[in-house]
Structure 1
């Protein structure tokens, strides 16, 4: 055999070898990926041949199925449309799912190992058992109140978010993001129409697909004074400790003023009074006195800088991802503390950024005696026959402050609502504490309005903790409307009564 033929033979053998290796790679390692790919038409038809599990809360069905006459037998339906969309997400035909529809997809579709017994039973009966059902922790009354009050707020704001949590367990009672979207067009079996709707939402400048409750990080304003207060109380200060205040405070080029001329104009005030009236000059000086390391350490202890938190299923540690909240570096280029930045950061400005979820966790921690519970949305997983397969068992996440510090903070935050800036959060029959926040942002833009708070029932039990955030609130007193909405959400979450 001549040299050219030998070379050709070798090339052919190599090509056959590569082809053989590729076939084995596909069959051994990639088969499952191709089988489960949403672009695999046969898989899609098979998935839609059996009913997807329901998603429900408080006995109300939030995601169900409708029988169709087309190739895909079942159509996903979301009866409440926009109110629950940021939590539920959507399960479209040919692109990835989002929200709880994504994090619990295997269980809802019936492919989870938890439903193995159902699949074995189907082999003998010939039935096509549907997927499992997911029961959420949401209180539907609280969710509806949050949605209604947020979208019909008295300031005409069109962007914001609200989160309510049971401080004792971490169960999410309400989670609303505004503006929202209707997920029903996105799950249409008309793929062109679904794609067009998705592109429309994606290009919307108001970002309706963004879950502002978990993904939006904005300057929290004076709600961050809760962190400074916790730092002070953990380092030898008491509620009645006298701290510097005054009409103005200058530090390394930063000039701090109070929102009103009559807010703590005297040279000193107490820590409790400073929080009650939200004295900027007092907290700016207090933050500088405590030092950047202690402030950042306390913020981190409460959950700032945590980029791994998800809100969903405690057993699987999966769910909706939560963006990390940050304090910022608070440092000069040489690494030393930038005291001007520290002064501004101590009143929740400069580079401090927080999600509404983090704000709710802060309030819940104080209400729960210093222990922060891991937040969750999935209360139960039910088989297709409605038998309970999983029930959430609350888990402690972290303990940033002692019970003594938490008790003092509760008292200080209750003073904010009874005698200070948070009066609009009052609820008959409940003991309410909280902290307002008005956060400056872009030059010329209206400030953001925040409120974090908690409610105790007549038995002395913490029944709800909340954070409400309104973006770019016109007309002054940005936080007052957030406080009003927060009070109504907590009342609804607790069933509307003091018991």
Structure 2
């Protein structure tokens, strides 16, 4: 072979080698990054066109893919959209590619994307069978923990109470496991509008929702923190009993007013807004029944800032614990408080802030003999044929209080339903434990927030509920009270679960 031919041959061999190396690099080393590149429209089209699995509540698919007669083959649809929007979220062309964004809004459609899309490693055999049979890839299913009757009761009760322009949330938990039985946030939205194949329609719908001052895309159950007001007195009572200085049968400080330490005048004066709280000493039960601010502010000062913070954190404050939807706002109990601030924190004011999920966990922890279970929304994941792949195992988050303390706080809360401010949650023939709360917003022209938390049956708890009414335009400021507004909603939700 002469030199020119040999040179050309070597050059061609080098080009083939370079081509093979490039193909190997692209198909092996960069395959995942190219596939997930948002600029790769072919990958997005393929992902958006496949048949995703269903999101199930009970036996009903609340999110599923149905055949479509356009280029994308399948249309994502949402049954009862307003009822389940803040659980399912939506799936459309813009979020068809999975993202590593940890601060973005992530619903079940995003947090469970690998299962729903069929990309999860646990569905490898299913994908292989689909490939060999020349069928399109099918996604697995996600079974939620939601109780459909409890969810409907929560939605209907809250909507009837706050009206079409109101804001609020309801959360119900199984205290024994941490299962989320109901999670409602109002105002809600229709995810079908955001899942359309008409991208101009999707853009218009999203811009409208995003610009809405009532923020319907916000899941208030886990993303809005507000002062919990007197519902926080459950935590204060637990801390006082855990300290060893009090029992539920003891007398506690009472009185019409209490001047916070190191203060003078109106700024440091705590009163009971006309409720009957005796004079120097009153029964602990009376203090809880009447929600005596003077009692619980003084108890918090006696317990001390550090012990109060430890007790709050034992129930879940100052941490994140809910993985199935993101992001989660941390409920806050402040650090490094002085005595006046500690006293205000004991009645759920100062800088104490909580989500409805957090206050449901407080009630659930008391109901479950002092043990707080990690809340979860995904009950199990399934194959496309509805065969169970993996179920969520209940997980202990913390032992917030002793069983004895939990039982004593339960007694106080039952008495509050039987004889006090939480009476609107009473259920005939069933012992109910509850606590009301009305928290000041801290803004002159913003009405207070109404809170309610409860669990039932008190002797064998099956459900713990927390309700917050953030805005109720049709209700006079003077009529905003946790028991009056939240009690009937809690009763309906508890009855739906116990039934």
Deviations 1:14-67 (A, max 9, x none): xxxxxxx99998776554123023442211222234311011111111001221
Q: Is the 8 A contact 1:325 1:353 kept in 2?
A: yes
State the match for 1:230 in structure 2: 238
From the superposition, tell whether residues 266 and 26 of structure 1 become closer, same or farther in structure 2 (CA, over 3 Å): farther
From the superposition, tell whether residues 436 and 22 of structure 1 become closer, same or farther in structure 2 (CA, over 3 Å): farther
**Which residue of 203, 208, 211 corresponds with 1:200?**
208
- State whether structure 2 residue 468 is matched by structure 1 residue 469: yes
TM-score in terms of structure 1 length: 0.88
State the match for 2:311 in structure 1: 298
Q: Secondary structure at the match of 2:207?
A: helix
Distance, in Å, in 1 between the alignment partners of 2:39 and 2:210 is: 21
Distance, in Å, in 1 between the alignment partners of 2:290 and 2:306 is: 26
**Which residue of 320, 325, 329 corresponds with 1:323?**
329
State the match for 2:296 in structure 1: 283
**Offset of 1:80 from its aligned partner?**
0.6
**Offset of 1:320 from its aligned partner?**
3.6
State the match for 1:92 in structure 2: 92
From the superposition, tell whether residues 85 and 142 of structure 1 become closer, same or farther in structure 2 (CA, over 3 Å): same
State the match for 1:13 in structure 2: none
From the superposition, tell whether residues 22 and 445 of structure 1 become closer, same or farther in structure 2 (CA, over 3 Å): farther
Distance, in Å, in 2 between the alignment partners of 1:256 and 1:418 is: 30
Superposed, which structure 2 residues align to 1:136-151 within 5 Å? 136-151=144-159
- State whether structure 2 residue 54 is matched by structure 1 residue 45: no
- State whether structure 2 residue 70 is matched by structure 1 residue 61: no
Distance, in Å, in 2 between the alignment partners of 1:181 and 1:327 is: 32
- State whether structure 2 residue 188 is matched by structure 1 residue 184: no
Distance, in Å, in 1 between the alignment partners of 2:44 and 2:329 is: 32
**Offset of 1:391 from its aligned partner?**
1.8
- State whether structure 2 residue 222 is matched by structure 1 residue 218: no
From the superposition, tell whether residues 218 and 245 of structure 1 become closer, same or farther in structure 2 (CA, over 3 Å): same
Distance, in Å, in 2 between the alignment partners of 1:483 and 1:215 is: 23
Which 5+ residue runs of structure 2 have no aligned equivalent? 1-20, 99-105
From the superposition, tell whether residues 189 and 33 of structure 1 become closer, same or farther in structure 2 (CA, over 3 Å): same
Deviations 1:267-320 (A, max 9, x none): 22122221111000111111111110110110011100013x2243xxxxxx44
Q: Is the 8 A contact 1:256 1:281 kept in 2?
A: no
Distance, in Å, in 1 between the alignment partners of 2:151 and 2:33 is: 37
State the match for 2:488 in structure 1: 484
- State whether structure 2 residue 351 is matched by structure 1 residue 351: yes
Question: Which consecutive aligned stretches of 4+ in structure 1 deviate over 6 angstroms post-superposition?
Answer: 21-28, 154-157
Q: Is the 8 A contact 1:38 1:95 kept in 2?
A: no
Distance, in Å, in 2 between the alignment partners of 1:292 and 1:327 is: 10
State the match for 2:280 in structure 1: 267
- State whether structure 2 residue 242 is matched by structure 1 residue 241: no
From the superposition, tell whether residues 439 and 122 of structure 1 become closer, same or farther in structure 2 (CA, over 3 Å): same
Q: How many residues align?
A: 461
Which 5+ residue runs of structure 1 have no aligned equivalent? 1-20, 313-318, 332-337
**Offset of 1:262 from its aligned partner?**
3.8
Distance, in Å, in 1 between the alignment partners of 2:485 and 2:131 is: 58
Distance, in Å, in 1 between the alignment partners of 2:258 and 2:30 is: 64
**Offset of 1:157 from its aligned partner?**
6.6
Q: Is the 8 A contact 2:171 2:465 kept in 1?
A: yes
